[in-house]
Amino acid sequence: MLMTRIIPCLDCRDGRVVKGVRFQGLRDAGDPVNQALRYQAQGADELVLLDVSATRRGHGHQVETVRAVRRELGIALTCGGGVRSADDAAELLEAGADKVGINSAAVRDPELVAGLALRFGQQCVVVAIDAARSGESWLVRVAGGSEATEIDAVGWAAEAERLGAGEILLTSYDRDGTRDGYDLELLRAVSSRVRIPVIASGGADSPEHMAAAVAAGAHAVLAASIFHDGVTTVQAVKRRLGELGLAVRSHPTEAAP
């Protein structure tokens, strides 16, 4: 049976891990390599490393960070943030990413998804969607959440799948960093429209929130704030999810309490 993946997310800016609320007010949360290794040791199933630098110069740090993380990381690594072209994706894959996340560039040029899937394989292409609630539906936001669009997020997820995405990283703009729990209605709406796996993101504060996301159709759960701030560990989250009846990978080096 396929296990629910617990995926810590490292948002990086100018080579440092940062975390904000609703994509704003970023504060420093450590060195990316140290953080990545800490989460791996805790039993993380995968890692996501997103570059949120505002400038090209800041993005320059990302490739170095990816290389350094890859040297030590024995689990899957998804990298994204500011990926504008197939060449940007190739650079990240060459540096050590196993999958590439694309967001704004895919919204502007959906064919980029098809091109990446053809060149690197479907399983390499993660389409990241930032979705903000608008009445009864959700609209896509781009440019790190700073720009609203009129694009329906659920429809865009289905289109991304058709174009060749291997996975959807679905972030609730409204819940990001709030610890109010994932937007379960958004998860239900998207996971019932696509067959590819959906990663829930935005709002996690507890294993209970994660279990609710899985019940709503998520195949993996991403969290940043709760792990960065030392509120909990991946190990503790998995232990609780196991008690809640979810299949999770137990960590081989975990000592019995």
Partner 1 sequence: MAERSVAIVHTGAANLASVLAVFSRIGVAARVTSDANDVAESAAVVLPGVGAFGAAAEGLASGGLGEALRDRIGRDEPTLAICLGFQLLAAESAESPGVVGLGVFESAIEPVPAEGLAVPHLGWNRVRAGKGCALLESDAMYFANSFALVQPPPGWASATTVYGERFTAAVERGRVLACQFHPELSGPAGRSLIERWLVAARLEPAAC
* Catalytic (active-site) positions: 11, 130
Nearer to partner 1 by Cβ, of 3 and 26: the residue is: 3
- Based on the shown chain and the rule CB under 8 A, indicate whether residue 19 belongs to the binding site for partner 1: no
CB of 204 to partner 1, least distance (A): 18
C-beta neighbour count of 197 within 10 angstroms: 17
Q: Of these, 14, 22, 26, 76, which contacts partner 1 (CB under 8 A)?
A: 76
Piece of the chain touching partner 1 by CB under 8 A; list 8-16, 105-113, 120-128, 172-180: 120-128
Binding mask 22-61 for partner 1 (x = CB under 8 A): ------------------x----xx---------------
Q: Is 244 in the site for partner 1 (CB under 8 A)?
A: no
Among 18, 93, 216, 221, binds partner 1 (CB under 8 A): 93
Q: Does position 96 bind partner 1 by CB under 8 A? A: yes
The DSSP symbol for 116 reads H
Q: Which residues are CB-contacts of 215 (< 8 A; sequence separation ≥ 6)?
A: none
Contacts of the segment 224-232: beta carbons below 8 A, 24+ positions apart: 224/8, 224/9, 224/10, 224/11, 224/19, 224/177, 225/19, 225/177, 225/179, 226/179, 227/8, 227/39, 228/17, 228/19, 228/29, 228/30, 228/35, 229/19, 229/29, 231/205, 232/206, 232/207
Q: In this structure, are residues 83 and 92 in contact, taking their beta carbons and an 8 Å threshold? A: yes
State the residues that interact with partner 1 by CB under 8 A. 1-5, 40, 45-46, 70-77, 93-98, 118-124, 166-167, 195-198, 219-220, 249, 252-253
